[in-house]
Every structure is written in structure tokens, then in C-alpha cells.
Amino acid sequence: MATATPRPPRSRQEAVIQKVSSSVTFARIAPHLLPRLDKAVHRVSGGKVMLSQYMLPSLFLTTTGRRSGEPRVAPLACLPEVGGTFLVVGSNFGRTDHPAWTGNLLGRPEALVEHKGRKVQVTARLLEGEERAEAWAALLRMWPPYATYQARIDRQIRVFRLFPQAAEERAGA
């Protein structure tokens, strides 16, 4: 697996946030707390605000549950790219299992993204090889704790690129 060097923190505050978010304790607590807070703030703000957007670019990803077939909404950090695509990372805060939303995308890559108040239908692709390595390097520049997450687990963290569907695709043409 190719490695990339994370960028240094830009400020003392960012260094503290990155150190805390890289801890094992944070990995135990955050998956239970942060998504609920993000969803609550998003609901109260009428869809205009996500708490996590103040740390990292963020979006809501709605996938279809593999077993249930029901919509599943996950607030995620993202890296918006030129051309309207997004990179998303199945880090699960450095926990041993892949997050459920990644399995949902593998089963059915069509999803819905809500980013900055806009909703966009997307198709996800799991990145591999050189494409993944390049995306991983960009993600580490955005959020260096991903390297800590990867270092403490045996699984390779899944990285997806989300492609907006063309209007014709959405209409079924």
C-alpha cells in the first residue's frame, strides 16, 4: 500500500483537534455521538448547517441498506473535487470494521449527496491502485488523522469517488 505524508497542522487549535480525533477514545465515542449531533443540527437549521463542516468539508450521504433496502443517511467528511465529484473515506474513525455505508455503496453504488444545501444523485466507485493512492494523498493533505486511523487497523480504509449523475441518467433516458 502506498503511503503519503500528512501535512502539518495549520494552527495550534487544529493540532489539538487532530490529536484528539486521532485517539482511540475518540474512535470509541465519536461514531455514536457525532452523527447524531450532525443530524440534529442539520434538522434544526433547516438543512443549512452541519456541525462537522466547521472542521472539514462535509456532506450527508444517503445509501440504500444492503439487507433492509431502506434509506440510510450518514454524515461524512468529504473532499469536493473540480468537476463536482467528491471523495469520501470509510475510516470509521480507525475502528476495525468498515462502516456500514461503504458496504451499502458496494452493493448499490447509486446514492444521494446533500452538500451545502444542494441534493445531487451520485454513483460511487471504490478506488483502487494508483487512483486510490492519489486520492489518499489528497485526503491526507486535507485531514492528516486518516494516516493514524490506517496505522492502527489491519483493513485497508475504503475510498470512494462520488460522481454526479447526468440529468438524462436521473430521468432514465
173 residues of the chain, pLDDT tens digit each: 445 655 565 666 555 565 556 666 666 666 666 666 666 665 676 666 555 555 688 899 999 999 999 999 999 999 999 999 999 999 998 889 999 999 999 999 999 999 988 999 999 999 999 999 999 999 999 988 899 999 999 999 999 999 999 754 544 54
| Whole-number CA gyration radius for the chain | 16
Domain covering 12-166 in this structure, CATH number: 2.30.110.10
Which residues, 6 or more positions from 19, have their beta carbon under 8 angstroms from its beta carbon?
none
Specify the pLDDT at position 166. Answer: 75
Which residues, 6 or more positions from 73, have their beta carbon under 8 angstroms from its beta carbon?
39, 60, 61, 62
- First CA to last CA distance, the chain: 40
Report how far residue 89's alpha carbon sits from residue 40's, in angstroms, rounded to the nearest whole number: 22
Specify the pLDDT at position 171. Answer: 47
Specify the pLDDT at position 1. Answer: 44
Q: Where are the domains of the chain?
A: 12-166
Report how far residue 16's alpha carbon sits from residue 34's, in angstroms, rounded to the nearest whole number: 18
